[in-house]
């Protein structure tokens, strides 16, 4: 089997070589991540590292943290705020245990995940944009305008601060989940997109993870999200009622979940808990 083509003036990979290069990179990444997770697991102080972009929790995180801290045996939770493209990388390299990601924008290959909530889409634009005063818009109106629409264009830009600066300068319109609205700068406008693709906020973690602490955290988050959905608590204000209800509900299910994160991994424990309720 030939991996390199040395004909002509240079050397290039054959189709088989390209496949091997991709697979080898994945193996090396997996080995590095396993080493990082093993080193962290060997520390005397247990903790969970949660990665998210600013505002990327759909407003759920305060209630999730309150409910989780109330559980017996809850460990310290370290929050890592990062850019859009950094969250999945931190999971893959073993730096983070779990991350708030967004479907369909994220690649979940190699992850298990638990959906928490589904949001509508909004268009973020400069306050002086011709559509800024509208009650709602459609994608066709955004795409027909003179300002490029992200992520359809300039998808290589993933840093939130860079995106918002370009929006403020009138160089870009960003379509994203509605939970970003409360966090916007004053010089930006947020308009609902009637036919925008829905965004699902998920908690994601490496496949076959078996951490009992992680299982309890994910189960608690799922309980909080279900409480918010059932009580109609607005996105971005998942406190008060949601926290009080979820703390009591999650205590029993998460305790059982924490004891079960064995052969089936975190995903099996969390979904097993869902079937018992």
* Residues 99, 56 contacting (CB under 8 angstroms): no
Ranges of each domain in the chain: 15-118+199-252, 121-193
Q: At what angle do helices 212-231 and 241-258 cross, to 10 degrees?
A: 150
**What pLDDT, on a 0 to 100 scale, did the predictor assign at position 242?**
40
Q: DSSP strand E in 4-110: where?
A: 4-5, 12-13, 47-52, 76-81, 98-103
Q: Is 25 exposed, middle or buried (0-12, 13-18, 19+ CB in 10 A)?
A: exposed
Alpha carbons 104 and 181: distance in angstroms, whole number: 19
**What pLDDT, on a 0 to 100 scale, did the predictor assign at position 217?**
96
Alpha carbons 109 and 114: distance in angstroms, whole number: 14
**What pLDDT, on a 0 to 100 scale, did the predictor assign at position 32?**
63
Please tell me the pTM assigned to this model: 0.69
Q: How many residues does the chain have?
A: 277
Low-confidence ranges of the chain (pLDDT < 70): 8, 22-23, 25-44, 232-265, 268-277
CATH of the structural domain 15-118+199-252, one choice from 3.40.50.720, 3.40.50.1240, 3.40.190.10, 3.30.70.141: 3.40.190.10
**What pLDDT, on a 0 to 100 scale, did the predictor assign at position 247?**
41
Please work out, in degrees rounded to the nearest 5, the angle formed at the alpha carbon of residue 203 by the alpha carbons of 197 and 206.
Answer: 120
């Amino acid at each position: 089997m030939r991996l390199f083509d040395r004909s002509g003036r240079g050397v290039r990979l054959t189709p088989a070589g390209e496949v091997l290069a991709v697979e080898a990179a994945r193996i090396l990444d997996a080995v590095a991540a396993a080493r990082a997770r093993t080193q962290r697991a060997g520390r005397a102080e247990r903790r969970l590292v949660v990665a998210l972009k600013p505002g990327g929790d759909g407003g759920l995180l305060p209630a999730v943290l309150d409910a989780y801290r109330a559980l017996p045996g809850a460990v310290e939770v370290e929050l890592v705020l990062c850019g859009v493209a950094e969250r999945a990388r931190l999971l893959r390299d073993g730096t983070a245990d779990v991350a708030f990601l967004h479907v369909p924008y994220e690649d979940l290959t190699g992850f298990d995940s638990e959906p928490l909530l589904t949001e509508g889409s909004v268009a973020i634009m400069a306050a002086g944009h011709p559509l800024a005063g509208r009650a709602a818009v459609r994608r066709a109106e955004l795409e027909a305008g003179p300002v490029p629409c992200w992520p359809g264009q300039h998808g290589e830009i993933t840093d939130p601060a860079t995106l918002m600066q370009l929006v403020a300068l009138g160089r870009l319109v960003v379509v994203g989940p509605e939970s970003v609205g409360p966090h916007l700068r004053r010089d930006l406008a947020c308009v609902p997109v009637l036919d925008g693709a829905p965004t699902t906020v998920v908690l994601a973690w490496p496949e076959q993870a078996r951490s009992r602490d992680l299982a309890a955290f994910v189960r608690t988050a799922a309980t909080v999200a279900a409480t918010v959905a059932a009580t109609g608590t607005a996105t971005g204000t998942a406190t008060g009622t949601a926290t009080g209800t979820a703390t009591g509900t999650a205590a029993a299910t998460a305790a059982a979940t924490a004891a079960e994160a064995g052969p089936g991994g975190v995903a099996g424990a969390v979904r097993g808990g869902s079937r018992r309720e």
